[in-house]
Structures are given as structure tokens and as C-alpha cells.
Amino acid sequence: MSSCCGPSRPQRATASGTARVDPGQVFAGPAPTEPYDAGRLVTLTGGTFLMGSEDPGAYAEDGEGPVREVRLGAFRIESRTVTTERFAAFVAATGYVTEAEQVGSAFVFAGLLPDDAPPTGGVVQAPWWREVEGADWAHPEGPWSDLAGRADHPVVQVSWHDAQAFGAWAGRRLPTEAEWEYAARGGLVQQRFPWGNSLTPGGEHRMNVWQGTFPGRNTAEDGYVATAPVDAYAANGYGLYNMTGNVWEWTADNWSTTWQRTGGAALLTDPAGPPGGDRRVLRGGSYLCHSSYCWRYRTSARMGSTPDSPTGNVGFRCAADA
């Protein structure tokens, strides 16, 4: 994946020195007595849509193309990403321990660290990413931070495994990459954003991305320096909020940049992604995206990351069968 958007974590031991355990395998806890937050699920009837992009500004190296006609069956998807409040309910009910907590650290954007933060290791190709001890879903920027005022913000510092565990508890799943893109487009055809081709139609900010000069100056003209509430800005044509910007969202699929051209018939009807791979697909971009280095806050844009990598700009939303 592009380290500018978010670094992948190398294999390492947990904070206790024991070998890492896949939390998706060890998760066990009481499921909610009713489908969790069922009112947020939007039913989409499915159908045929044009997936991918060959826009001159698209990243061919990310596997955005070719544009192909994909048919999907009906499914349901949450109108909002999972909030810190919802994730806290999951943790309280199950005692679940996230991968960031197991390892003892996670990646934080340097511009969100306090001036007196202790020295932290940086990512060579993207020094604005710092590995911070004590950063996790409840302390997104490190042990000096908390969730005060962020109950309705997306949970971050969660790995793909963590998202899978939440979905298992809530009786849901992650959307496939094709489901995610179909939903993000909101019924529009080959438009860059969920509302059209203009980033700020009529001068109105429609999503949470970086303004100013990255990485040193964020003017926050859209109202937010870091994450925004999960229902900030207007919903798209399907009633879904923040499908682009704010936080990257995990999907179910394995990552590939070539399968889009070699997958054959499996690409065209309810595609589930390539059969293998060491990374998972993320969609939507985040509050750190800026056109000067990362124009990935578009409906077709994508990146991949290892499933055990939590960062301060990655969250998820759940889906379910119709």
C-alpha cells in the first residue's frame, strides 16, 4: 500500500512478549440480544453498475481499472461507520482486546501529537506517521488522549481482524469491495465523488479531507482537523454518510492490483475479490488525504494494508445479507 495513506505494521511480538494471536480466532462473547443498531442498515436492491475508473487522475498502479460492468444481488449496509460509542459497547460486552492493545502501540499522524510527546519512531517514506506506544481505539493519539467529545466519531486504531470480530458479535460482516463501491456511488454513474465530479459544489464542503499544505498546515476549512462525526455532511443518494473522506474503511476482500484484469467471470457477478493475499482492501480515503500527494478520496480509489495494521485514520462500517 502507499505508506503516505497509512503504514502497514511488520510482524512483531505483542507488548507482553508473547507471540501474536489472531483476535478473530480468539474472539468469544455474548451477542447483542437484538441486531445491534438495526436502524442504521440501508437495504440496497443491487443491480448492474460500472465499477472502477480510468479517469486520467486515477491510480492505475492501485488497480482502479479497468472499468467493468458488475452485477450485485441485494444487500444491506450501514449508513454510518461504526462509532467509538458502538465499539465501546462491544468491548464492554465481550472483554475484547484489540490488536493495538495486544502489541502496545499503533500509528498516529504526527500533527496530532502534543508538543511534549516523547520521541516516537517514524515511517521512513512517510515521516508524518509515528508509531506511538499506548495508542489504541480508546486513546487514538496515544495515552494522553481519550474519547471525550468523540462518541459519534468513527472508531479508529482498529485492524481488519478487530472489525471482523465486531461484525461477528453484531451479526454482521464487512462489505465486499464491490458492495462498498456500489453503495458509495449512490446511484451515480462513473462520478468521482458520491455526489458528482466537483469536490466542493457551489463552494460547499461535502467531506472531511485535508485543506492547506500537507503535512505541515491544515486550514480545516471543512470544519475538522482530524475525524468528524459519522453523519457529518450530506448523505449520498442512498442515504449513506461519509463514504469518502473522514476515515478509510476496511472491506472483506483480499488486495490485488492485477486481479481486476485477470479474474475473468469472477469479476462480474457478486465478486468477492481474489482468493488469496496478505493484505486487505481499504476504501474511501481519510481526513489526511490531499490532492497534492493522495487523491484517493474518490469512489473508485483503493489501497491495501495488512489485516493487523491499526492506524489513526482507518475505521469500518458493517454490511449484511438482504
CATH code for the domain in which residue 308 is found: 3.90.1580.10
Confidence (pLDDT) at 9: 63
Question: What total number of domains does the chain contain?
Answer: 1
Which residues of the chain, if any, have pLDDT below 70?
1-4, 8-31, 33-36, 38-39
Where residue 142 falls (left for φ over 0; alpha for ψ -120 to 50; beta otherwise) is: left
C-alpha–C-alpha distance, residues 260 and 232, integer Å: 33
The grid coordinates listed for 231 are 453523519
Confidence (pLDDT) at 5: 74
Q: How far apart are the first and last CA of the chain?
A: 32
Residue 258 inside a domain? The answer is yes
Residue 29 inside a domain? The answer is no
Confidence (pLDDT) at 31: 65
Any residues with CB less than 8 A from the CB of 82 and at least 6 apart, and which?
154, 155, 163, 166, 315, 316, 317, 318
Confidence (pLDDT) at 120: 82
- Domain holding 316, by residue range, is 39-321
Confidence (pLDDT) at 17: 41
C-alpha–C-alpha distance, residues 83 and 185, integer Å: 22
Confidence (pLDDT) at 305: 97
Confidence (pLDDT) at 112: 97
Of 90, 80, 94, give the one whose Cα is nearest residue 36: 90
Phi, psi of 44 (to 5 degrees): -115, 130
Residue 314 inside a domain? The answer is yes
Confidence (pLDDT) at 29: 54
Confidence (pLDDT) at 118: 86
Confidence (pLDDT) at 24: 46
Residue 109 inside a domain? The answer is yes
Residue 316 inside a domain? The answer is yes
Confidence (pLDDT) at 33: 66
Confidence (pLDDT) at 21: 39
Helix (H/G/I), strand (E/B), else coil: 128: strand
Residue 204 inside a domain? The answer is yes
Confidence (pLDDT) at 32: 72
Confidence (pLDDT) at 26: 44
Confidence (pLDDT) at 124: 73
Residue 13 inside a domain? The answer is no
Confidence (pLDDT) at 23: 46
pLDDT tens string 19-62: 343 444 445 556 676 666 766 899 999 999 999 999 998 999 99
Any residues with CB less than 8 A from the CB of 52 and at least 6 apart, and which?
64, 65, 66, 67, 68, 260, 300
C-alpha–C-alpha distance, residues 284 and 303, integer Å: 9
Residue 17 inside a domain? The answer is no
